[in-house]
Structure 1
Amino acid sequence: MPQHGEHDPTNGRFEEELGAVLRRTGEGFAVDDRRELVHGGLVRGRRRLVRRRVATVGGALALAMIGVGGVYGGSLLGSSGGAGQVSVAGPKPLPRQGEPAQIPVADLAAVLKAHTPAGEWRIDNPDGVGHSVLGVYDDGKGKAAVSVGLYRAGKTNETGLGQVTCPDEAAVPYDDCTSERLPGGGRLMVIQGYEYPDKRVETKNWRAVLLTEDGFLIDASEYNAPSEKDSAISRENPPFDPAQLKALVTAEGWRPLLQQIPEPQPAKTKPGGSHAAPPQEPSAARIQATLTSLLPKGQGLKVVDKGGQGSGGGGYLVVDDGKGRSLVGINVQPHMDDIRAELFSGADVTSTADGTRVKLTKQPGEKGGAGVVWWSADTLAVDGFRVVVSAFNSAAQHEAATRAEPALTTEQLKTIALSPKWRQLSEEAAGNAG
């Protein structure tokens, strides 16, 4: 039974779609600004970080579209899938490894229309190809933006699990969320949430995400407005209720389309014939423990909450010294030398004796929380090893400030970022991967 609260064919088009995925994931899937904080490299350098993670087949849902598993073969939901499969006209050759998905948008739209209530549709780019379909639906009660995307999450399902896990309700505003295991091994999450975590606009975003037993993701999103952002609210709620969203993502009509998502390119081989494995990043649990051990002593700091990506190289703590809660987040990123000229060449950058670049920043928060400020220490070693530590004067960026300043000074953040423990942790993770 469901458990309430259970825990982009051109390059330009690809990047556009990838950006949309990243905006909505969540990080993990959850639109938790604290998880987004640690997953995205603390905003600065995020685009380069995303490219790097895509190139190395790491990260979470951002990589689902290029694939980390084999060609889908077999039932989506076993014998219990939805009814009314939509045929795809004519036999198609198997997709070649490493190519972008070439699924006709018209085929995606046909499945979408066949498994939603009767209404008028306007489909974006109906003659195009890709891995997703976007449209505006109108049942006479108000226009609503709707999208469905098909992605790979890997045969192990490790990266996909974060997309079907309900977020922390204390950090992410939503009205309801369920996560359940389906017959045949699939996992489904349905969440009734909001486009903006701070609810500055009451745009609702209801989503259903299915992780199949073979490691594919079917992600459906709907809004109570004609577009995801920058449109006036057109109806009280999105048009499809949770049961209808579930029926949409579990429909068997998606099965032949999933087969058209290409396999990833084989890993390049090193001299001697061994395969180059993607860099392994420290787990969130180890990062949380290390960050806790590096908190300043004598300030009465107590850890009242913690979290982060399972293996995304980031984590966060919420600390309280009796003066109000403060979010402290960290991201550990090896092989980031390509951002040196972009982020570490200004007059505000200093260097340590060993050549590590250090940039200290104080700026307003970015998620709409009243009075929130964001202090950070961004460090980059000579070999490209990057550690970013940030602190806020609130428990989450979308929440109002709980204190005048963060619980940690920028110098204390710098001390934490420069600790040799982070390199030791990264080397340990790399050793485990090898």
Structure 2
Amino acid sequence: MPLNEGHDGFEDELGAAIRRTGDGFATEDGRGLVTGGLTRGRRLVKRRRTAAVTGGVLAFALVGVGGVYAGDLMGSGTETEGASVAAPRGTAPAGALGAVLKANTPPGNWSFDHSDARSVSAVYEDGKGPAGVTVGLYVAGQTEESAEGQVTCPDKAYVPHDACMTDDLPNGDRLMVLQGYEFPDRRTDTKTWRAVLLTKDGFLVDASESNAAGAKDSAVTRTDPPFSPAQLETLVTAPGWRPLLEKLPTRNAPPSQSGDTPPQTPDGANGADVGATLRSLLPKGLTVVSSGGQDEEFAYVVVNDGKGKSLVQINVQNRMGDLAPHLRAGGATQLSDGQLVLVAEQPGEKGGAGVTAWTAESLTSSGFRVVISAFNTGAQHEAATRAKPALTKAQLRDLALSPKWSKFETR
């Protein structure tokens, strides 16, 4: 949603940016996995809308160092007013953001790719190998995912990382420092470390660094990114950003601090309630290791039955009647009340070796859809850790058809 008239919202900017950079996350019909500020859940059969599987941290992980931070997020696909066009390496002036960046990092040589009023990207060299560094200044959106979601550590079930910390600072700001990787499936050794500061009045300072000089698939140039987590914290909390933040078009306090209720789309089932219902329906003998979800529609749990971890995820969606022909074509059974149900098996989609997904999907005649999947691993990007998912196909079918989901149906 727009923060004010004439200014595209953070969610729209983020979705547009990631759609242009999410290679490796495309579905069979060529659509990306992220849109609309991450307020939709992943669809396993013929998506009508596109989505991500966790909150905002995953979104920025997909963007990656040296990618759309150079301006796309702030321009929603158009050139930002007053922004400089990215020039060949070494020709772009440092500008105000570059000056603050250099002043709050250890001495080294800088080669700037891009710098404008809202973002800067550069290559830093301290004698140990060149490294890509970016900083972006943003106005937080009006949902939890586009505000506090950016400073909440992700679950390793979806975003692999070596370490993550958060801290509520004495001045009311909130900080997150994440030591992760460029690709969720770890297909390269490229590390991406990030620090994000959410100010109490709704600004975001987001700094990323890599152990490679360029964007996706660039060769690794050093063991780790150049700045330690403590140095990243010093960078994003530097007072020099404040005057630059004040020049952004608008400010808005995060919903949790302003007291406002985050806006929901009319047909969006509350993600927390979906997760609670899922946990209440799990068969006996399963221990929930971790759980989470999104603002709407999507939730997940990682369970263990004593034979290894198994990821279980669910979407609960209204107004999905246009999927009925696809379910019928896939062999769905029609029940006496007109409801369609389909159980399927397919390989995992995130690169984990040997990963299998068992999926059950139900769709009522009014277009209310429940789709639930279980995996033979605790994280899709990791190799299978067990022969089969922890839930049987029959159990998944029963879960998808449970009458408890009807409370989320929009009449």
User: Structure 2 CA distance, aligned partners of 1:350 and 1:160?
Assistant: 42
> Partners in 2 of 1:41 and 1:200 — Cα distance?
22
The answer to whether the 8 Å contact 1:210/1:217 transfers is: yes
Matches within 5 A, 1:180-329: 180-262=167-249, 278-279=265-266, 281-296=268-283, 300-309=284-293, 311-329=295-313
Partner secondary structure for residue 273 of structure 2:
helix
Checking the alignment, whether the CA contact within 8 Å between 1:393 and 1:404 is kept in structure 2 is yes
SS of equivalent to 1:205: strand
Alignment of 1:88-167 (within 5 A): 102=81, 104=83, 107-124=96-113, 126=115, 131-154=118-141, 159-167=146-154
Q: Assess if the C-alpha contact under 8 Å between 1:41 and 1:388 holds in 2.
A: no
Instruction: Name the CA shift for 1:47/1:207 in 2 (closer, same or farther; >3 Å).
Output: farther
Amino acid at match of 2:302: V
Q: Report the CA distance between 1:385 and its aligned residue.
A: 3.1
Greater RCO (CA < 8 Å, at least 6 residues apart): 1
- Provide TM-score, normalisation by structure 1: 0.65
Deviations 1:151-198 (A, max 9, x none): 333478675223223345687653333211113200011122223445
Structure 1 residue 210, shift from structure 2 partner? 0.5
Q: Is the 8 A contact 2:145 2:295 kept in 1?
A: no
User: Using a 3 Å threshold, how does the CA distance of structure 1 residues 154 and 229 change in structure 2: closer, same or farther?
Assistant: closer
Q: Is the partner of 1:370 in helix, strand or coil?
A: coil
**Corresponding residue for residue 178 of structure 1:** 165
1:36-69 per-position Cα deviation (integer Å, ceiling 9, x unaligned)? x996415666782449xxxxxxx757999xxxxx
Q: Distance in 2 between matches of 1:47 and 1:218?
A: 33
Q: Which moved more, 1:414-423 or 1:229-238?
A: 414-423
Change (3 A) 1:41 1:19: same
* Displacement of 1:224: 0.4
1:204 & 1:193 partners in 2: Cα distance? 6
Gaps of at least 5 residues in structure 1 are 1-7, 24-36, 52-58, 65-94, 266-275
Pair 424,20 (structure 1): closer, same or farther in 2 beyond 3 Å: same
Quick check: 1:150–1:217 contact (8 Å CA) kept in 2? yes
| Residue correspondences, number | 351
The amino acid that maps onto 2:236 is V
- The structural deviation recorded for 1:424 is 0.0
Instruction: Identify the residue that residue 402 of structure 2 maps to in structure 1.
Output: 419
Is contact 1:157–1:215 with CA below 8 Å preserved after alignment?
no
Does the 8 Å contact 1:303/1:317 carry over to 2?
no
For 1:282 and 1:373, the matched residues in 2 are separated by 27
Residue 26 of structure 2 corresponds to none
Q: Distance in 2 between matches of 1:135 and 1:410?
A: 50
Report the Cα distance in structure 1 between the residues aligned to 2:388 and 2:81, rounded to whole angstroms.
50
- Whole-angstrom CA distance in 1 between matches of 2:405 and 2:220: 46
Q: Is 1:332 aligned with 2:316?
A: yes
- For structure 2, list consecutive stretches of 5 or more residues without a partner in the other structure: 1-7, 24-37, 61-73, 85-94, 253-262
Q: Is the CA contact 1:123–1:135 (under 8 Å) kept in the aligned structure 2?
A: yes
Instruction: Tell me the SS of whatever aligns to 2:397.
Output: helix
| Contact 1:374 1:390 survives alignment (8 Å) | yes
1:214-269 CA distances to partner (integer Å, 9 max, x unpaired)? 1222221111012343122101110112232122212334334434544599xxxx
What letter corresponds to residue 166 of structure 1 in structure 2? C
